[in-house]
Structure 1
Amino acid sequence: MAHELAVWLFAEQVGSLSLNDGRLSFAYHPNWLANPDAVALSGSLPLQAAPFDDIRTRPFFAGLLPEGHLRRLIAQRFQVSGQNDFALLDAIGGECAGAVTLLPKDAVPQVAGAGEVSWLDDQRLSAILDELPRRPMLAGQDGLRLSLAGAQDKLPVVFDGQRIGLPLGGQPSTHILKPPIHALENTVLNEGFCLALAQAMKLPSAEARIHQAGDRRFLLVARYDRQRDAQGNPVRLHQEDLCQALGVVPEMKYQNEGGPDLKACFDLLRRVTRPSAPQVLRLLDYVVFNALVGNHDAHAKNFSLLFASPSSRAAPTLAPLYDVLSTAIYPSLTPKMAMKLGSKYKFSEVRLRHWEQFAEAAGLARAQTRKRILGMAQALPKAARTLQATPMFAREPLIEQIATLIEQRAGLTIRRLTEEGDDSA
């Protein structure tokens, strides 16, 4: 027995996702292929008349779904198998990352501005913060079909500058609400500081603000895959993370599990962006920044490509930096980075030759790479201390830990990149 969902990109049906005998397939709609302005849904799903089999289909569509325990809880809520990507997308695939919407095959998405928003007071917001660990994405609540990738609790919401609300009836969300991560100290403050620091360093990055409901703190992150139309309504921009673009399933996102390495990420940017040089240098800055702030969870799903509308043939760009957390300050988390620098997973072991190995594999000039790394290592500690002195972050012990770690890592990097005759293994 076959099951089918219509796959929409912006306001156009681009194809169909099918489940047949437990296996997924995706096929582009003939009308979409006949459109001279047609664009591919993903770099891993190029425009073609023939359907894609399960191996080709699953990386992109599974990549739209939450992961780990969040996925299991949502599956339990809908009484479906945790391995059933199709059933989960059927249940929560209405508001995904980018401009993708999955609907029953005869349904039509609502136009921008036609949806509704259920505005939340502090009491309801506090209750939702309590509910999210048990009910990710508020799965099963009437009118909500929300999905975001990742293993951390989060919720797509609408924010108008004062009020926070839930998007109903196809209304695009504008922000992502991120509550604290259980069992880790003050992750809201940690990520808020790291993203603010990226902005202070003039890196394109998601805008994040720390908010409070009662005595509960949470992070509100503006979605870079949303913009306003001429009437001021939020509209979707298409995006895909680098695992999706490379055809890698979410459970293999880490390099040590067979996932993408930095070379694959840089090679992808050179293939799909035009001009590629600015995008390549931007990714280099992201890699160095993540290393110096101690974000060991910077895997390929935490970098994305951002696209314009289907009417534009413009090449994608590297999306703003997001999901930046100084994981290195938590002793319970692994000291291994998600992707190697040279031949090393541990930052403490990265020396000059490993940065040079990284540069060579990424197709970067050694001298230019060294200069750019040194520039950030020299500027970042001062920027961190300046940001630490602002009212939001002053007198916070956790921020002192992060600032100290940055000073240590930057100092170590400067010494190792300027010392002579580095011949360590």
Structure 2
Amino acid sequence: MTHELEVWLYADHIGTLQLLNGRLSFSYAPNWLTHSDAVALSASLPLQAESFNDLKTRPFFAGLLPEGKMRHLIAQQFQVSSQNDFALLDYIGGECAGAVTFLEPGQVLPVPKHNNEVQWLNDKEVLALLEELPHRPMLAGKDGLRLSLAGAQDKLPVVFDGNRIGLPLNGTPSSHILKPAINAVEDSVINEGFCMTLAETMQLKPAKSKIHFVLNRSFLLVERYDRLINAQGHRLRVHQEDFCQALGVVPEIKYQNEGGPGFIQCFELVRQSTRPSAPQVLRLLDYMIFNTLIGNHDAHAKNFSLLYSDKSPVLAPLYDTLSTAIYPALTPKMAMKIGSKYKFSEVQARHWDQFADSVGISKAQTKQRILALAKSLPDTARKLQSNPNYNFSNNTIVERIKALIDQRCALTIRRLTNTTTEF
């Protein structure tokens, strides 16, 4: 028996996702292929009349879903297999990353009244939500909610109006992503909050984020860059996809050492997809250097995205960046290698040269940008830490991040400016 879901992009029905004998397939709707404004759902799913098989289909669609323990708990909630991408998208594929929505055949795309069908929460209800999320990811199964975000950590699409937090109901686009503390990572909220604010202070234009507290519980609110407000004051979705989706790589192999994308594929994707590409390539270079210097070893290909804000995509703002290297229990290996090295401690000047050659950027320009960031980052971090407008001073985690940045920047400068022979 064939199961079908209609795939909508913005307000258009653009195709059909099918499940037959456990295999997925996707095909564009004939009307969409002849539409004057037709665009592809993904760089890995170009416009064509022929349907895409499971191998081609699954990377994009599975890439919309939560991973790991979250995925298993959601599957349990609906009594389906955690391997069943189709069933999970059926249940929670209403408010996804980008502008894609899934509906059963014959259903009409929900149009929320006045764009504000929101269940506003008081502080006690927000605290209860934080308690519930680890056991009920995405609040799966609650009436009016069909929410999905990729990744292995707890998070939730919410609406934030500057004062209140609410749950988006019946097709209302969310405005922010709520990220609670990660149980196994000490003070993860202030870690990510500091690193994201540091990126903004360095003028890297990351996703806007802010640490919030409710009844002494901290969480991060990240403004969605894939949502915008139109002239009428309505919130609209903007399509996006992460690099794994765009490259046709399933989320299970997002790390380079297990077969996932490396910097070569990532830079080539940006070069091929964006116009003009040179500024976007340099932005990605800055993101890569910043992640390296702050010790974000989890910067895999699903943590970079293309944003389809116009006819030509652009590199999405930096997101999901925190210093994992300060935690001894977490891996010292970077998600993507620099030259031939996965460990930062082993990266010498020649490995940066190998990296530059492999991604098609001149060695001189790469070195210049590395040194510029390495020379300015420590002082910027120190000033941010002591800024009275934030709560970063006298925090142990922030102090450890700053110390690591000092060490990494000094080592990088020394290795890139040392003219003696390396061993």
Q: TM-score range by the shorter chain?
A: over 0.9
Q: Taking structure 1 as reference, are residues 264 and 422 closer, same or farther at Cα in structure 2, changes over 3 Å only?
A: farther
Asked if the contact 1:295–1:328 (Cα under 8 Å) also holds between the matched residues in 2, the reply is: yes
Distance 1:111 1:394 in 2: 45
Distance 1:422 1:128 in 2: 57
Identify the residue that residue 202 of structure 2 maps to in structure 1: 201
Identify the residue that residue 180 of structure 2 maps to in structure 1: 179
Identify the residue that residue 162 of structure 1 maps to in structure 2: 163
Distance 2:143 2:217 in 1: 25
Identify the residue that residue 234 of structure 1 maps to in structure 2: 235
In the TM superposition, what whole-angstrom CA distance separates every residue of 1:141-198 from its partner, at most 9, and x where no partner exists?
A: 1110000000000000000111100000000000000000012110000000000000
Distance 2:421 2:405 in 1: 23
Distance 2:238 2:218 in 1: 29
Post-superposition offset of 1:115: 5.3
User: Which blocks of at least 5 consecutive residues in structure 1 are unaligned?
Assistant: none
- Which runs of structure 2 are paired with 1:262-281 in the superposition (5 Å)? 262-281=263-282
1:397 matched to 2:402: no
Identify the residue that residue 349 of structure 1 maps to in structure 2: 346
Distance 2:98 2:77 in 1: 25
Identify the residue that residue 135 of structure 2 maps to in structure 1: 134
Identify the residue that residue 57 of structure 1 maps to in structure 2: 57
Distance 1:204 1:28 in 2: 35
Post-superposition offset of 1:106: 1.1
Identify the residue that residue 224 of structure 1 maps to in structure 2: 225
Post-superposition offset of 1:421: 3.7
Aligned mate of 1:385, from 365, 382, 385 = 382
Q: Taking structure 1 as reference, are residues 354 and 422 closer, same or farther at Cα in structure 2, changes over 3 Å only?
A: farther
Distance 1:422 1:27 in 2: 57
- Which runs of structure 2 are paired with 1:327-338 in the superposition (5 Å)? 327-338=324-335
Distance 1:158 1:422 in 2: 56
Post-superposition offset of 1:422: 4.0
Post-superposition offset of 1:230: 1.3
Post-superposition offset of 1:36: 1.9
In the TM superposition, what whole-angstrom CA distance separates every residue of 1:358-387 from its partner, at most 9, and x where no partner exists?
A: 000010100010000000000000110010
Asked if the contact 1:11–1:111 (Cα under 8 Å) also holds between the matched residues in 2, the reply is: no
Identity across the alignment (%): 66
Post-superposition offset of 1:102: 0.7
Identify the residue that residue 67 of structure 2 maps to in structure 1: 67
Identify the residue that residue 123 of structure 1 maps to in structure 2: 124
1:411 matched to 2:401: no
Identify the residue that residue 19 of structure 2 maps to in structure 1: 19
Post-superposition offset of 1:110: 2.5
Distance 2:235 2:186 in 1: 34
Aligned mate of 1:321, from 308, 312, 318 = 318
Asked if the contact 1:351–1:422 (Cα under 8 Å) also holds between the matched residues in 2, the reply is: no
Distance 2:120 2:69 in 1: 28
Distance 1:417 1:403 in 2: 21
- The one-letter code matched in structure 1 to 2:360 is G
Which piece of structure 1 moves more, 386-395 or 39-48?
386-395
Q: TM-score, normalised by structure 1?
A: 0.98
In the TM superposition, what whole-angstrom CA distance separates every residue of 1:256-315 from its partner, at most 9, and x where no partner exists?
A: 00000000000111111000000000000000000000000000000000002xxx5x21
Distance 1:107 1:229 in 2: 26
Asked if the contact 2:238–2:307 (Cα under 8 Å) also holds between the matched residues in 1, the reply is: yes
Q: How many aligned positions are there?
A: 420
Asked if the contact 2:115–2:234 (Cα under 8 Å) also holds between the matched residues in 1, the reply is: no
Post-superposition offset of 1:317: 0.2
Post-superposition offset of 1:99: 0.4
Distance 2:201 2:351 in 1: 28
Post-superposition offset of 1:204: 1.7
1:300 matched to 2:301: yes
- The one-letter code matched in structure 2 to 1:191 is E
- The one-letter code matched in structure 2 to 1:219 is L
Q: Taking structure 1 as reference, are residues 114 and 388 closer, same or farther at Cα in structure 2, changes over 3 Å only?
A: closer
Identify the residue that residue 244 of structure 1 maps to in structure 2: 245
- The one-letter code matched in structure 2 to 1:96 is C
Cα RMSD (Å) of the superposition? 0.9
Asked if the contact 1:253–1:300 (Cα under 8 Å) also holds between the matched residues in 2, the reply is: yes
Distance 1:320 1:270 in 2: 16
Secondary structure of 1:184's match?
coil
Asked if the contact 1:226–1:234 (Cα under 8 Å) also holds between the matched residues in 2, the reply is: yes
Which piece of structure 1 moves more, 388-397 or 61-70?
388-397
- The one-letter code matched in structure 2 to 1:215 is N
Q: TM-score, normalised by structure 2?
A: 0.98
Identify the residue that residue 423 of structure 1 maps to in structure 2: 422
Post-superposition offset of 1:398: 0.9
Distance 1:163 1:207 in 2: 17
Distance 1:287 1:356 in 2: 14
Post-superposition offset of 1:213: 1.1
Asked if the contact 1:62–1:85 (Cα under 8 Å) also holds between the matched residues in 2, the reply is: yes
Post-superposition offset of 1:114: 4.1
Secondary structure of 1:194's match?
helix
Distance 1:169 1:385 in 2: 45
Asked if the contact 1:177–1:221 (Cα under 8 Å) also holds between the matched residues in 2, the reply is: yes
Secondary structure of 1:183's match?
coil
Secondary structure of 1:328's match?
coil
- The one-letter code matched in structure 2 to 1:53 is N
Identify the residue that residue 107 of structure 2 maps to in structure 1: 107
In the TM superposition, what whole-angstrom CA distance separates every residue of 1:230-257 from its partner, at most 9, and x where no partner exists?
A: 1212110000000000000000000000
1:34 matched to 2:31: no
Identify the residue that residue 260 of structure 1 maps to in structure 2: 261
Asked if the contact 1:352–1:422 (Cα under 8 Å) also holds between the matched residues in 2, the reply is: no
Post-superposition offset of 1:111: 3.2
Which piece of structure 1 moves more, 389-398 or 28-37?
389-398
Asked if the contact 2:242–2:304 (Cα under 8 Å) also holds between the matched residues in 1, the reply is: yes
